[in-house]
Structure 1
């Protein structure tokens, strides 16, 4: 173990100290016939982004484990889990390699200590511009210098004894569903002590092996063009109780004679409010686009398990060319129409071709800089059991995701810890956020954390 003497300014008051760095390798070597993991065309479209997730656990009196015990459990179970998730412990041979070299070089595991108490930290977390410090090796954005690593872990110890576990996974090897499957498998191994336990076996990953492609990983993938524009962005967390979302659903249903889901109405409300804020900031309405990534595992004719690893989804794009198209009823109706079109997708390859076609048309119609400024991405992790991830010391008291470094307008939706609503992590230009967070209609349905 290497002791690191680096101090990081964390938040507005506290110091964050990196205290150790390890490399965790798989408990068993990867068989020779699995040592090359080909990336799919869909993976290559996504590009070099990270999915940065945070899980916060309080220090419970009922838990007899010390901080050292928790670290030992996490490292041992991670090593065992990487035997199953063998590509995660590999490397990209070069920055453009279209496959993972499953060489068992391992996953970086950092430990850090904060002088803050967990409760104090959470109060300011949603407005903290240094949230990224909780993640290993800058694995929170698309220009990390450590981009050949695919997974990074950082265990953050707070002064109260609580911990924040930061897990960052390269989007090249999987989507949000892949991330939650990996973390739940890891937690179950920690809880039950073995990857061969009967409760863990159903959580084993399902890999879809694809043929080698001649395509190379692009330095600026088409799907990420809207992410690379330099900007000043801030992140806020908004919490929508189910009771408030029910009111919103009824209002939209009365206008459309169709019952929307809570995710559909919330996605539409966030996008509508963000477009209105951008319009107020610039002084005029400009055509805008809503990108909605969609999980296809249960939609394909040959249904795939939720434990299937990879980028297995499609992309819905809602164009808003006129200000009149930003009403909730119109936006919800467009999302529902696009969802119906997904029913015709027969395979992951067809989904990939559809995405490429959609994006090529969009890029032909708009200059990239304009597209970047007026595009919004809404990803829903609702229904994914992040709030149930138990390593043996209870479920997390809160979850979060680092958005500020993504460099894009984005909304990420997650179930609240108590299951009684949705927390929306919103990243916008600072000027737009000032207007967004004071929108009267939005505030009538939510509360702002932080």
Structure 2
């Protein structure tokens, strides 16, 4: 356990959750792994020991700035983090059996990636907010794995911490260079922007996931040409209302379209085998919706770019009923754009003022999903986050990835190493993935 190099002051010992943090639940980790260039000349145990010691030292220093990460979530009341300097779990590992860095990057085994994480558990372990693992390859390559408690922060927050730690390590905590204190001063104020909501003290995001069920993950690579083709198909489609789709909108519409078509086809096959099924119920079962997480920081008025926490809102599309018109990709992309555009400064201000109303409506919208009457695809994009700029002094990462996540119909987007493509990590129930043919 790595603790902050200096104790957290008494007046900072309790960090209140915002209503956006309260909503996140149940407690689970978000995972990221960074793979760094092999250097055979620096692969001996002494050199690895030096790097590990430097990482621990810089981590201890940077935790004085990111002090909530060394605390513990107060499990009762869904209200706060106890910033008690409990520490961050730090694991050192060595890759055996002759596995090379190139093996992991060129032909990754998605299940095997979990070995580069500090915990094999999806749910919270020993109430620790952050766990880290540094793995050394015989070839000299290094992998840095993060398990970050989602309750405490979103992808933007993860990226801020990783960048700050890497800079502290690279510059040996010369704060004149990494400017940690200046950059992150007063950024733990999300609760002042989005005040806690009383009913969320006992209620959080209802899970659509049963961890006893079998989940599988598909990693879909959408390179620059594929994304260009998708965007051109959206723009050129008869009746298209979207003339400038983004790569994320195109990728989301593409995956959502396949989910709708293949799910509806599967349901029609099931209905043929059950001729007595109520046709009214059939219509309900052919209803679909998508939602995207939207970073609220730059959309607020004024913007709050450095605020730490779960500073995002959920953009939910209109319900799509399966038919020849509504399943078209250009229409789905338009619905996504429309939903995301709705989250502007005025919308965010209303959430800040009437948080209880926002979450009440959100729970109502999710109710048919929980009852199995509405198919939902959830998208989260990390494409704009500067993960490929995280440099500990060994150069920029060769590959940044997440790992399989046991959350139903969740799609996570990460930029490819070239920066112009997208890796889509699609998580579904095993039986559902068998019928979704996304290529």
Q: TM class, shorter-chain normalised? A: 0.7 to 0.9
When normalised by structure 1's length, the TM-score is 0.83
Tell me by how many angstroms 1:331 deviates: 1.0
Choose from 81, 91, 102 the match for 1:119.
Answer: 102
Aligned to 1:20: none
Between the aligned partners of 1:97 and 1:195, the Cα distance in structure 2 is: 37
Between the aligned partners of 2:18 and 2:357, the Cα distance in structure 1 is: 15
Choose from 169, 173, 184 the match for 1:204.
Answer: 184
Aligned to 1:32: 10
Between the aligned partners of 1:245 and 1:354, the Cα distance in structure 2 is: 38
CA deviations over 1:24-43 (Å, ceiling 9, x no partner): 00011111111110011110
RMSD over aligned Cα, in angstroms? Answer: 2.6
Aligned to 1:4: none
Aligned to 1:370: 372
Aligned to 2:160: 181
> Which structure 1 residue ranges, 5 or more long, are not aligned?
1-22, 444-450
Q: Kindly tell me: are residues 171 and 131 of structure 1, through their superposed partners in 2, closer, same or farther at Cα, counting changes over 3 Å?
A: same
CA contact (8 A) 2:72 2:129 kept: yes
Q: Kindly tell me: are residues 245 and 85 of structure 1, through their superposed partners in 2, closer, same or farther at Cα, counting changes over 3 Å?
A: same
Is 1:345 the counterpart of 2:357? The answer is no
Aligned to 1:385: 386
Between the aligned partners of 2:147 and 2:216, the Cα distance in structure 1 is: 20
Choose from 66, 72, 76 the match for 2:47.
Answer: 66
Larger radius of gyration: 2
Aligned to 2:281: none
The 5-angstrom pairing of residues 94-109 of structure 1 reads 94-109=75-90
The 5-angstrom pairing of residues 80-99 of structure 1 reads 80-99=61-80
Between the aligned partners of 1:352 and 1:176, the Cα distance in structure 2 is: 22
CA deviations over 1:290-343 (Å, ceiling 9, x no partner): 1211001111111011x3201111101124441132211111111121122112
The 5-angstrom pairing of residues 300-311 of structure 1 reads 300-305=300-305, 307-311=306-310
Aligned to 1:446: none
SS at match of 2:244: coil
Between the aligned partners of 1:97 and 1:44, the Cα distance in structure 2 is: 6
Between the aligned partners of 1:71 and 1:50, the Cα distance in structure 2 is: 23
Tell me by how many angstroms 1:63 deviates: 6.2
Aligned to 1:271: 256
Between the aligned partners of 1:268 and 1:219, the Cα distance in structure 2 is: 35
CA deviations over 1:149-195 (Å, ceiling 9, x no partner): 11111112233221221111111111110000110011011111116
When normalised by structure 2's length, the TM-score is 0.85
SS at match of 1:275: helix
The 5-angstrom pairing of residues 327-346 of structure 1 reads 327-343=328-344, 344-346=346-348
Tell me by how many angstroms 1:424 deviates: 1.0
Q: Give the length in aligned residue pairs.
A: 408
Choose from 105, 108, 119 the match for 1:137.
Answer: 119
Between the aligned partners of 2:397 and 2:50, the Cα distance in structure 1 is: 18
Aligned to 2:403: 402
Tell me by how many angstroms 1:214 deviates: 7.3
Between the aligned partners of 1:214 and 1:358, the Cα distance in structure 2 is: 14
Aligned to 1:17: none
Between the aligned partners of 1:363 and 1:421, the Cα distance in structure 2 is: 31
CA contact (8 A) 2:58 2:165 kept: yes
CA contact (8 A) 1:291 1:378 kept: yes
Choose from 210, 224, 230 the match for 1:248.
Answer: 230
Q: Kindly tell me: are residues 67 and 279 of structure 1, through their superposed partners in 2, closer, same or farther at Cα, counting changes over 3 Å?
A: farther
Is 1:432 the counterpart of 2:432? The answer is yes
> Which structure 2 residue ranges, 5 or more long, are not aligned?
271-284
Tell me by how many angstroms 1:363 deviates: 3.9
Q: Kindly tell me: are residues 91 and 228 of structure 1, through their superposed partners in 2, closer, same or farther at Cα, counting changes over 3 Å?
A: same
Tell me by how many angstroms 1:246 deviates: 1.6
CA contact (8 A) 1:230 1:407 kept: no
